[in-house]
Amino acid sequence: MPLVYDNSVASLSEVTVNTNDLAIGRDWTKGAPEMLVLWFYGDPGNAATERMYVKVNGVKVPYPGDAADIDTPEWKPWNVDLAAFGVDLSNVTQLSIGFERTGVSGGAGTVLIDDILLYRLAPEGPSEEI
């Protein structure tokens, strides 16, 4: 999924998934997952000041790396501990991914997002997908 953002006017750009459309649905406790893993691919031409984040039920977890890490032309995994959200995972009503302005003026760019999956543990080799 291409996520095109432009934070020159708005302070954030975000896409939200209808959790009813997800294979797991709203109950993310099935299979006892502990990690949300998403893969992203940046463009070196992006504004390296924007901060990527993921939100579950309105609770935002920012990307822990440097903003410039996002704008590299290679696929990178982001492992997010589900406990970091501190929400009821048996009723997930919102999953959003976005970019937030960190400076006075915002930037614009495109990041590809793929393979958003829940895992018992973050994968190191073959996946243990739930």
Q: Which has the higher per-residue pLDDT, 98 or 102?
A: 98
For the ranges 3-17, 23-37, 62-76, 116-130, the lowest mean pLDDT is seen at: 116-130
Q: Residues 38-71, buried b or exposed e (16+ Cβ, 10 A)?
A: bebbbeeebbbbbbbbbbbbeeebebeeebeebb
The H-or-E segment that residue 67 falls in is: helix 67-70
Query: What pLDDT was estimated at residue 124?
Result: 65
Give the residue with greater pLDDT, 86 vs 126: 86
Domain ranges of the chain: 2-119
Distance CA 124, CA 77 (A): 10
pLDDT at residue 60 in the model:
96
pLDDT at 130 over 60: no
In this predicted structure, the answer to whether residue 128 has a pLDDT above a threshold of 80 is no
Second CATH level (architecture) for the domain 2-119: Sandwich (2.60)
48, 109 Cβ separation under 8 angstroms: no
User: What's the pTM?
Assistant: 0.87
Percent of the chain with pLDDT over 70: 93
pLDDT value at position 101?
87
pLDDT at 126 over 80: no
- DSSP sequence for 111-124: EEEEEEEEESS--S
